[in-house]
């Protein structure tokens, strides 16, 4: 939720406004959250809603109290993003949408708050399916300076509904007893269905995002997708935690302002029976002269037309350039040494220009990007094997100016 707030409402008593009493979890366990000044006080499941009661406490560092003894000179504001939603951890194919709020405005409206204020508010979402006893609460995707209140691994009481027993026991039909001399016949056995091992339980992915040079943890944004939706979380400490479903493969992207972004594919199957995976990321600081190879850029053989498989990598590049408005870059094309030298030189230039044209088409100013082709004149591998030649066929990205 955007750092924004209301003033009072201390000890507010919720009357429910006609909702029937349901399954209630007071002070649920939350595995991970990234804003300590807001907490989930209570979760109630009615026949129609998932109702979340929350409390916001506005704080201010002591040094600011000394500089501004009148706390009303320091103003924050809060609201709830109507695009917020609930998920079963790792399963983005089904979302439980926001319905309404009480005690807090809905964006674009907001409420001013001051240090020391406490705000209690209530949020209504679609009813979680029975059996979902852990959920993730995504309030937003962390664009710009907005700080959202995302919670991961919220534990509640929400058992599966069991079918009620029949009211009357059916009358038994008497069966004729077999003759005493009859030989018992072996019963035909039906093999049991394959047991559902704990493979349905979410697997936790934990880790830290570091500065590759200083080895210090840095604030970052992590997005992940399973093919149906993309979610993004922000971590101010560098530490992150995600809940992933077994049997799926996730594409992770890690970005931080002033750093080269990176990506990785993660599958819970890699946990090999463990309940958690660990994956740390090391981001390279942006600096003049820094260069790196764009790993997932694809062209038709001996041509310069970009294939669609390149777009995801290039879109991450667009975001990084947009997040660093003073950045000027150079796209460099390189080939192996097979074939005609002059044709290779021209092909490398055309491929670099194709990447530049794509970035411009996405809104990057043309004067921030130059393109050059070097053909086979700057190999990174000197051997003659196909693997080494493939390393030489590449597109590089160079920071010219910060």
**Residue 231 belongs to domain with CATH number:** 2.60.40.1120
Note the pLDDT tens digit of each residue in 299-338: 988 899 999 989 988 988 898 899 889 999 999 999 998 8
Note the pLDDT tens digit of each residue in 105-145: 998 898 988 888 899 999 999 999 999 999 988 876 544 44
Q: Do residues 66 and 132 both lie within one domain?
A: yes
Q: Do residues 31 and 118 both lie within one domain?
A: yes
H or E element, residue 1: none
Pick from 321, 244, 253, 239: nearest CA to 276: 244
Note the pLDDT tens digit of each residue in 247-284: 778 888 898 888 888 888 888 776 665 667 889 999 98
DSSP 30: E
- Provide the token pair at 395: 């597109």
> Does the residue 357 lie in any domain?
yes
pLDDT at 399 over 80: yes
Which residue matches tokens 């937003």? 140
Question: Cα–chain-centroid distance for residue 205?
Answer: 11
Q: Does residue 47 come out as left (phi exceeding 0), alpha (psi in the -120 to 50 range) or beta? A: alpha
Q: Do residues 279 and 310 both lie within one domain?
A: no
Name the least confident of 72-81, 111-120, 360-369.
Answer: 72-81
CA distance 66 to 80: 31
- Give me the percent of the chain exceeding a pLDDT of 90: 36
Q: What is the CB neighbour count within 10 angstroms for residue 50?
A: 24
What pLDDT is attached to residue 316? 85
> Does the residue 147 lie in any domain?
yes
Contact 219, 259 (CB under 8 A): no
**Residue 33 belongs to domain with CATH number:** 2.60.40
For the whole model, what pTM was predicted?
0.56
> Does the residue 2 lie in any domain?
no
> Does the residue 163 lie in any domain?
no
Which whole-number Å values give the CA distances from 165 to 131, 162, 169, in the listed order? 20, 9, 9
Provide the domain limits for residue 45. Answer: 23-155
């Amino acid at each position: 939720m955007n750092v924004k707030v209301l003033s009072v409402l201390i000890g507010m008593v919720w009357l429910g406004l006609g909702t029937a009493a349901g399954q209630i979890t007071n002070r649920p366990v939350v595995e991970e959250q990234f804003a300590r000044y807001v907490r989930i006080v209570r979760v109630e499941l009615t026949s129609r809603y998932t109702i979340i009661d929350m409390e916001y406490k506005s704080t201010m560092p002591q040094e600011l109290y000394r500089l501004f003894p009148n706390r009303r000179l320091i103003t924050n504001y809060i609201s709830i993003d109507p695009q917020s939603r609930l998920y079963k951890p790792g399963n983005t194919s089904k979302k439980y949408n926001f319905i309404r709020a009480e005690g807090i405005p809905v964006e674009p409206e907001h409420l001013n708050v001051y240090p020391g204020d406490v705000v209690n508010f209530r949020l209504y979402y679609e009813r979680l399916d029975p059996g979902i006893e852990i959920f993730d609460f995504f309030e937003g995707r962390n664009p710009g300076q907005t700080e959202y209140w995302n919670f991961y691994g919220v534990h509640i009481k929400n058992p599966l509904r069991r079918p009620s027993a029949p009211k009357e026991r059916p009358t038994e039909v008497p069966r004729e007893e077999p003759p005493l001399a009859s030989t018992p016949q072996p019963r035909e056995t039906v093999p049991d269905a394959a047991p559902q091992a704990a493979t349905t339980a979410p697997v936790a992915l934990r880790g830290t995002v570091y500065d590759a040079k200083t080895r210090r943890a840095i604030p970052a944004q992590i997005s992940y997708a399973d093919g149906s939706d993309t979610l993004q979380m922000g971590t101010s400490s560098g530490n992150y935690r995600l809940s992933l479903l077994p049997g799926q493969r996730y594409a992770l992207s890690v970005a931080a302002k002033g750093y080269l972004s990176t990506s990785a594919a993660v599958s819970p199957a890699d946990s090999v029976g463990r309940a958690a995976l660990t994956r740390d990321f090391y981001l390279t600081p942006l600096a003049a002269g820094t260069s790196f190879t764009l790993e997932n850029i694809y062209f038709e053989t001996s041509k310069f037309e970009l294939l669609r498989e390149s777009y995801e990598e290039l879109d991450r590049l667009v975001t990084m350039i947009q997040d660093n408005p003073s950045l000027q870059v150079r796209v460099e094309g390189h080939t192996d040494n097979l074939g005609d030298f002059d044709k290779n030189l021209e092909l490398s230039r055309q491929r670099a220009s194709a990447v530049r044209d794509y970035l411009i088409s996405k809104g990057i100013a043309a004067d921030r990007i130059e393109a050059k082709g070097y053909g086979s004149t700057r190999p990174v591998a000197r051997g003659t094997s196909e693997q080494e030649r493939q390393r030489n066929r590449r597109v590089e990205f160079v920071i010219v100016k910060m």
